[in-house]
Structure 1
Amino acid sequence: MHLWWWAEDAQPPQARRARIDRLLRATLAAYLDVPASELAFGREDRGRPFLRHADAPDFNLTDTRGGTLVAVCRGGRVGVDIERHDRRLPMRALARRWFAPSEADALDALPEDEARLAFLCLWTAKEASCKATGTGIFDQRLQAWQFDPGSVRPLPRALPPEAGAAAEWRFLRVAPSPAHTVVVACRGAVARTAYIAVG
């Protein structure tokens, strides 16, 4: 599995979608003997993108202010999610709406700064997992994926039925920059992981 980090360049916000498409195509073209402009994409039932090429790797992308990370995986399904450490959210209300009650209770017991960090750790783990399975975050999927609220490293406590056995999964937290935290969720056999920073 390769993790490609593309630091954000100075572009107006309206150019973001074009930038993401360009970076994704440039990254994936390196794995196939196809020009970036000729890559063909499809979408699963719930919208998860995939490459319509023989022997194409699985991939997933996450983007926020400051940079874009693309995960490319052979031998498994991968999901990634990124957040900035300085992001301010109504975390306790969001946890009550989207997380398991035990996770929301654990956040309520923490001081504000600790709770904010724990919330970001849980959210990124849950969303990366939902992206790997291709379900999206709705239909109580964020609640079905449960992680240890006291651990920065994603430690799963419960998985939804479509995820299969916990032993099939690997979770990794990386910091592509001092401002960001990323979770990589991968189902399948991955021999090694390489991190590649671009720009």
Structure 2
Amino acid sequence: MTAPNDIWLIAPTDLTLRLDEIHVWRIDLDQPEVQLQNLATTLSSEEMARAQRFYFQEHRQRFIAGRGILRTILGRYLGIQPRQVQFNYQQRGKPVLADTFADSGLAFNLSHSQGLGLCAVNCTREIGVDLEYIRPMSDLEALAKRFFLPREYEMLRSLSANQQQEAFFRYWTCKEAYLKATGDGLSQLEQIEVSLTPTEPAKLQILEDWSLFELVPANNYVAAVAVENFGWNLKCWQY
């Protein structure tokens, strides 16, 4: 299994996002009760209503942590309090900053799996991030046959059972990161071709004006970030 990337640093107090940078934040969603209470005070009434709709307390707490920390991170870039951050929602539910903050050019995307979250931030360009916990799946080959392109499916089938799991989630995160950046839905998964092997980084095929970064934020996790254009400097922060 791929080892976690040893690239997660504590962000400086004078945090700056340059035009050629992508910042990715690693977020622990399992926060202490006192911290959860503080984060809950930053959420809007609509977000708190959403939190209360979760049946399991664990899911409710992780939602509050994810949204509160997202607000805290974005507030740092915008120079405002977390509670002052406002969102709009695109057609498929993707949160974006409200029109009030359009002049900032700030773009972001959030993904979470189990107790871990990732937030990718960029200035002016569309960005998408996807994070997945690598877990056994009984229908892995069937899902790959349905959602992956023939060359991807054949590459997956050529691997050992252990390698198949990791490769499947690598394919999935790469495709999903791109689709989240563009705002397209999962119905487009099979139209995005990704080239990868167990030892080589993934690449988006055909799409010449997009960059793709693979990350391993923790044991048994894989993630990918997709962003328009090239020449990006990637910085990874631990919240």
Report the Cα offset of residue 190 of structure 1: 5.6
Aligned to 2:24: 3
- 1:41 maps onto 2:87 in alignment: yes
Contact 1:124 1:183 in 2 (8 A): yes
Unaligned runs of 5+ in 1: 159-165
Number of equivalent positions? 188
| Segments of 4+ moved more than 6 angstroms | none
Structure 2 SS opposite 1:30:
helix
Q: TM-score of the superposition, structure 1-length normalised? A: 0.86
- Normalised by the length of structure 2, the TM-score is 0.73
Structure 2: distance between partners of 1:176 and 1:190: 22
Q: Residues 171 and 185 of structure 1 are in contact (CA less than 8 Å); yes or no, is this contact kept in structure 2?
A: yes
The CA RMSD over aligned residues, in Å, is: 1.8
> Following superposition of structure 1 onto structure 2, how do residues 42-191 of structure 1 map, counting pairs within 5 Å?
42-52=88-98, 53=101, 54-85=103-134, 87-89=135-137, 90-138=139-187, 141-150=188-197, 152-158=200-206, 166-188=207-229, 191=232
The AA in structure 1 aligned to 2:201 is: R
Aligned counterpart for 1:20 among listed residues 55, 66, 70: 66
Measure the CA separation in 1 of the matches of 2:82 and 2:172. Answer: 32
| Unaligned residue ranges in structure 2 (runs of 5+) | 1-21, 33-57
How many Å apart are 1:72 and its aligned residue?
0.5
**CA–CA distance in 2 between the matches of 1:183 and 1:8?**
19
Contact 1:32 1:56 (C-alpha < 8 Å) held by counterparts: no
Structure of greater Rg = 2
Instruction: Report the AA paired with residue 142 of structure 1.
Output: L
Q: CA deviation at 1:10?
A: 4.9
CA contact (8 A) 2:23 2:237 kept: yes
Question: Is contact 1:71-1:80 (8 Å) kept?
Answer: yes
Percent of matched pairs sharing the same residue: 28
Question: Judging changes above 3 Å, is the alpha-carbon distance between structure 1 residues 188 and 48 closer, same or farther for their aligned structure 2 residues?
Answer: farther
